[in-house]
Amino acid sequence: MSIRYISQKLAQQIDEELMSSSGAFSLDQLMELAGLSCAQALAKSYPAKSHKRVMGGDGLVAARHLHMFRYKPTIYLPKPGSKDIYQRLLKQCENLNIPVLKDVEEFKKGLGESDVILDAVFGFSFQPPLRAPFHTVLSAITSTSLPIVSVDIPSGWSVTDGPQPLYTEPDENGNTDSVKTFEPEVLVSLTAPKEGVRGFKGRHWLGGRFVPDELADKFELNLPEYEGVDQVVELPRVE
């Protein structure tokens, strides 16, 4: 039985169940383990020796663990979150002197000094069309030849249908821009892969080794077995 590709709705439902009073997980716990999974997947795909400089689009927890794994992460935050947890995760990165960029021009410059991109900009709740400044962010990413590690859904892809023609919001004259999407070299799916990445042909890791067996059974996720103490497991390549 192969792994289940889940809908956006089911992904949200699983998160809600994990954090409900019966699931009992806190957001802090889940984000910590998810971010650690992303950092491990990147490290298993691109060793620090050859790919030390990681440009993270969001991904504060992953960046902190990558620092601990002796990478040199930089974080670009297109829309800094205002929630308390976000502020705390940001402070933890600042305490490690991880540079945090807030301007898209700095981000473009930073890409020129990076070895690999960790694309955690959108996540599985993205809905088109593209709003500012994400148009510029996405164009900046697609215009590099750096290897990209995407989390859950490559930025700009539809969670349901994968890579699709992508447009910006209409301006005051009703005009939209078409935006190129990209296929990352590596994908990290958290909890379970989403429907939109069904045709993804790159290296694919599953992370989030915290889903209770009963929850996985209930939703027929057919998760593969992780090895040893790993927080990620590689999925077979799609031909």
CB of 26 to a second copy, least distance (A): 5
DSSP-based helix, strand, coil % in the chain, nearest 5: 35, 20, 50
CB of 225 to a second copy, least distance (A): 8
Question: Is residue 234 part of the contact set for a second copy (CB under 8 A)?
Answer: no
CB of 27 to a second copy, least distance (A): 9
Q: Which of 68, 131, 198, 224 binds a second copy (CB under 8 A)?
A: 68
In angstroms, rounded to a whole number, what is the distance separating the alpha carbons of residues 53 and 109?
13
In angstroms, rounded to a whole number, what is the distance separating the alpha carbons of residues 109 and 238?
34
Six token digits for residue 16: 């809600």
Q: Which of residues 135-194 bind a second copy (CB under 8 A)?
A: none
Question: Is residue 218 part of the contact set for a second copy (CB under 8 A)?
Answer: no
Instruction: Give the x/- contact pattern for a second copy in 86-125, rule: CB under 8 A.
Output: -xxx-xx--xx-----------------------------
In angstroms, rounded to a whole number, what is the distance separating the alpha carbons of residues 144 and 142?
6
Q: Report which of 48, 49, 62, 7 is spatially closest to residue 205, judged by C-alpha positions.
A: 62
In angstroms, rounded to a whole number, what is the distance separating the alpha carbons of residues 162 and 124?
11
CB of 85 to a second copy, least distance (A): 8
* Other Cβ atoms closer than 10 A to 83: 9
- For tokens 């994908």, what's the residue? 187
Comparing CB distances to a second copy, the nearer of 85 and 238 is 85
Footprint on this chain of a second copy (rule: CB under 8 A): 22-26, 28-29, 32-33, 39-40, 43-44, 64, 68-69, 85, 87-89, 91-92, 95-96, 209-210, 212-214, 226, 228-229, 231
